[in-house]
Structure 1
C-alpha cells in the first residue's frame, strides 16, 4: 500500500489543477452591504450548481474594480456587473459576452436624493443643486456615478468638482442613502432599485431624506461570461449557463436582486453606456 501511494502521489499532484478547473466561479459588484451580497449570491451558487451539474462558487470582492480584475485574471468566469463595469471587463477580455440582464435593467434609472435641510423638493425638471455637498456611489457605478455625472454635466453645464462645495464617493448605494440621510452630504445619486428596496424594508427615514429627481432610463446590470467558457467546461456550457439564468423563476432568488426575471442580453445592448463613459472621460 505504501508503494502504491508512493507512485500515486505525483499523479495526484498533476491531477489537482484539473480537478480545481471543474469549479465554476462567479462574482458580483459590491453595490450593497457585503453580508447581504454573500447571502443572496450563495443561494444563486446553489441554484446554478443544481442546474449545471458542476461545483459552483461565489467569490466576493471588495470593490467594483476588484470584480473587473477578478474577471480579467480568470479568477471568475461569470460576473454580475453594472453597465459600466461590464463594458470595462469586456474591453479587457476579448471574446467575453453579456448573456442576460434583469428585465428592469433594460430601462434602469437613478434617483437624486437630498437631505431635508436643503429644502429641495421633487421636480420633473433637473434641480438646481450647485453649491451643495454631493456624493456619488462607487467611482465605477453606472447608476451611482456614470449616468448621474452625465446628467449633471448635460443639465448644469459644469463638471462635478466645479458644481459642488465637496464631492464624495460613498462606495455603494446603501451607504449613499445613509450618508445623505445623516447629513454627511446634502445631495447624492443612487440606484433606484436599492432606494426602493430600502424604503420598502423600513431602512430609510423619509422625513430626513427624499427623492428630488428621477433620471431618464438607460441599460444597466447584466451577467457577463468569459469567451473561453466552452473550452474550459465543455461544448454548450455557455448556452447552459445562459439558460439557467433565464430560467431562474424562484421568487426568493429573484427578489434578492431584486428583479422580476432575467431576459437575453448581448454586448450591443450596452453601447450607450460605453458612449457615455467616453463622452465624460471615464474610458478612452
Structure 2
C-alpha cells in the first residue's frame, strides 16, 4: 500500500513541477507592423536568445492587431511586449508598475515618411509637408500606430491646419507599414504615412522601387518603439528579473537578431522617455 502511495506522490510532484515550469514561461509578443509570417520567423529567434540569456523558457506569440497586443499584455497573456510608442503607453497604463525597458537607438529620434506614388507628380524630399497633398487619397497604417497614424496625423493638423478627413479625398487604414507601401505602390492610395525603418528596409531588399514610391516629406523626430514589461514580473519570475530582461535586451548584439526589428542596437529606456507621446495621444483623443 505504501509503494502505490509513494508512486502517486512522486507522480504528483512531477506534475506540479511541470506545471510550475510552465507557469514560469516568459511569453512576449510584438505589434503586427509587418507580415505575420515574417514576424514569427524573426521573433522565434529572439525568443531562443532570451531563453538562453535569462535561463527561463521564452515563447513568442503573434497577435492580430495593435489593440490585441495591448489586451494580451493587460490580461497577462504576455508579460513582455515590443510595442510602438502609443501602444507601449497604453500597455503600461493598463498594468500598474509596468516599465519601458529598452528602445532601439533609432527610437530616440524616430521619423515617419510621407510617401507618394510617382504618378501623383508630388516632388520628393520637400522641406515642408506639401499643400498639394490636399485632395489626394491617403492611407495611414494601423489606427493606433505611432509612426503610421499618431504622429502623421499630428503633423497633418499642424502643417495643414485641418484634420485628415478635411485634407484628403479618402482616408484609409492599411493595418501595417508593409501594406501601406504596397497600397501606395499599386496606386490604390496616392499618398501614405509609414515608419522610416520599414520603408528603408523594403528599399534595401528591393521590395519597393523608390522610383515608383517616393518620399515627399519626413516628420520631425519623436520617441517610438520600446520593450515594455509588466509591473509584476519580479513577483512572477523572481527578484531582479526586470533588470535581467533589460540587460538581455540591451546586450542583444547579433546582427541576425537585430535585423528582426530592424535596429542597430538597443539602449535603456524609461517611461518618461514617452511623455511626448502621451501629450500627443491626449491631444488627438487617443489617450484619456
Deviation at 1:17, TM superposition (A): 3.8
Secondary structure of the residue aligned to 2:178 is helix
Matches within 5 A, 1:78-93: 78-93=80-95
Of 124, 128, 136, the match for 1:125: 128
Hey, what's the Cα distance between the residues in 2 that align with 1:91 and 1:71? 11
Equivalenced residue count is 284
Matches within 5 A, 1:1-80: 4-6=6-8, 16-80=18-82
Matches within 5 A, 1:103-252: 103-122=105-124, 123-128=126-131, 129-252=133-256
Moved over 4 A (4+): 1-16
| Residue in 2 that maps onto 1:281 | 285
| Residue in 2 that maps onto 1:264 | 268
Hey, what's the Cα distance between the residues in 2 that align with 1:162 and 1:12? 64
Hey, what's the Cα distance between the residues in 2 that align with 1:208 and 1:143? 22
Hey, what's the Cα distance between the residues in 2 that align with 1:271 and 1:82? 13
Hey, what's the Cα distance between the residues in 2 that align with 1:3 and 1:239? 43
Mean CA deviation greater in 250-259 or 13-22: 13-22
Structure 2 unmatched runs, 5+: none
Deviation at 1:11, TM superposition (A): 5.4
Secondary structure of the residue aligned to 1:30 is coil
Mean CA deviation greater in 191-200 or 154-163: 154-163
Task: Give TM-score, length-normalised by structure 1.
Answer: 0.96
Structure 1 unmatched runs, 5+: none
Mean CA deviation greater in 157-166 or 103-112: 157-166
Secondary structure of the residue aligned to 1:25 is strand
Deviations 1:67-116 (A, max 9, x none): 10110000111100000000011111110000100000000000000111
**RMSD between aligned alpha carbons?**
1.5
